[in-house]
Amino acid sequence: MSAPSSESPEQREFGRRRSPESINLSNRLFYTCLSIIGGTYVLLIVAMLFADVAYMVDRTLTASEDSPTPWLTAIVENPISKAMGDPKIRYSTWLSLISCTLAAVISVIVAVPMGYLLSRHQFPGKRLLDAVLDIPIVLPPLVVGLSLLILFQFPPFAWIARSVVYRVPAVVIAQFSVACAFAVRTMKSTFEHIDPRCEQVAITLGCSRVQAFDRIVLPEASRGMMTAFTLAWARALGEFGPLLIFAGATRMKTEVLSTSVFLEMNIGNIEGAVAVSLIMVAAAIIVLIITRTWGVRDDRV
Amino acid sequence: MDPRLSMINVDNISVRAGTFSLKNVSLRLPTGKYGVLMGKTGSGKTTILESVLGLRAVSSGRILLAEEDVTQLNPAVRGVGYVPQDGALFSHMTVQDHLAFALRIRSVDSETTNQRVHELAEMLQITGLLNRTPHGLSGGERQRVALGRALSFRPRVLCLDEPLSALDTETREQMCQLLDNVRRLTGVTTLHVTHNLDEAERLADCLFRLEDGKIEATSNP
């Protein structure tokens, strides 16, 4: 639409209007570009998982090709079953499940008070503390492991070093020292999203600080705690660098799933490594589903 | 209690809240009266309310409730009911739990608690909502629940922080009637903070205007 010619020059719209078609085309291009750029990454994630599965299926089919009972062979001879049949892998699976859960539980126990203090209170050195809590996140994992190893040379840690270093406790400590930083971040933002007025009201109603925390803040933070637990758990499951240095990679002793992948690769057993990777993918997905459904149920109340 | 006494006596207090500060402010509200504290946004009326509640420490001056110096007293033992601006309801609790919360904290037996919950629900006309959670309650309903929660333990003083500011005109009118009703039924001394003149004139026995850090008191006929 152009301005009627009867209008005086002062009232005429400046410049030239673009045609609706050109605007529409430009908008469509804009969103196409966004989708393509963003989609590439999603595609990469999905393709990686598919490749693992495809590799697995291919190996299974090859194994069952010449067998008289292809179905039975497919079930017994596929790389995941073979891996799970290996007592070493079974051990590392159990150790992973137990150590990750322990590390995640301890992380949440530490992260709740830490996150609460950071989100609610001002105190000297708060910015410094906040920066210190980022160290495990930004530090190269190998350095975390090495630092832990060095730390256990000094008392009082040195006194218990014999029963920790290169043993199962070292696995949990190494996983905890990194995973906890993520849990603290999550809990801090959880508490920041809870209205401090609620606590203040509870206090005017006669609550002590502990009662207000226990009855008002914690129930409101339960979803955040679940998220912090999942994040810490997943982080602990993938931990490898600090473990290798601080806990070692001894089979049937300090071997967790990520170590298994590494050890299988080392002896040239790609099939085994992929199988263990898929076990980890499955474990991660199960934890994700459990916490998501828990979270949704909590949300509806 | 002698009605000539001041229930709320804010005696020459100075408060600092971040970069904002109030100096030497005083306010007296007689027992059983409905006081409305008016002022522009950012004039510090909420800060004064928080000082009465004990949620904000005063740097000088005294706060007396029923002639008792409570300046250093923990908010949990001041016996002041509080309705914050947006209600600040507890999202994981039912309406019933809100009304019973203070009584449970104060270890009141469950029979008395139940009785009180129903009495409050009737007064505030929220009997039908008792089993609901705050999720999905309307603005007016939320404020009723917040009011019930604050009144539940029979406080000697009730502090309302802009309780009607987020409501539409019709709901606001209903809430005004309700507040009138509550005052008649309970006789609780109330300090109500608002920036709305209609609301102030409608409800106030005593009107306090906070301007440029000074409070000017007038009684409302």
Note if the bond before A156 is cis, omega within 30 degrees: yes
- State the fold for domain B6-219: Rossmann fold (3.40.50)
Q: How far is CA A87 from the centre of its chain?
A: 27
CB A217 within 8 A of CB A194: yes
Decide if pLDDT at B2 tops 80.
no
A69-74 mean pLDDT: 76
Residue A301: its chain B contacts at CB < 8 A?
92, 133, 135
Which of B26, B30, B28 has its CA nearest to residue B5? B30
Question: A54-68: per-residue pLDDT in tens?
Answer: 988 888 888 777 777
Q: How crowded is residue B59: how many other Cβ atoms within 10 Å of its Cβ?
A: 11
Per-residue model confidence as pLDDT tens digits over A151-193: 999 988 888 888 888 889 999 999 999 999 999 999 999 999 9
pLDDT at A28 over 70: yes
Across the range A2-12, mean pLDDT stands at: 64
Least CB–CB distance from B84: residue in A197, A207, A219? A197
pLDDT of residue A300: 38
CA dihedral A171, A173, A174, A178 (to 10 degrees): 140
Q: How far apart are CA B116 and CA A275, in angstroms?
A: 63
Facing residue for A206 by CB, picked from B76, B85, B89: B76
pLDDT value of residue A6: 57
Amino acid occupying residue B91: S
Whether residue B161 has pLDDT greater than 60:
yes
**Percent residues over pLDDT 70 in chain B:** 97
Main-chain phi, psi angles of A130, to 5 degrees: -60, -40
Q: Do residue A200 and residue B106 have CB atoms under 8 angstroms apart?
A: no
B92 and A301 in contact by Cβ < 8 A?
Answer: yes
List residues of A whose CB lies inside 8 A of any B CB. 195, 197-198, 200-208, 211, 215-216, 219-220, 222, 301
Domain chopping of chain B, boundaries: 6-219
Categorize the per-residue pLDDT at A301 as very low, low, confident or very high, splitting at 50, 70 and 90: very low
Please name the CATH architecture into which domain A79-300 falls. Orthogonal Bundle (1.10)
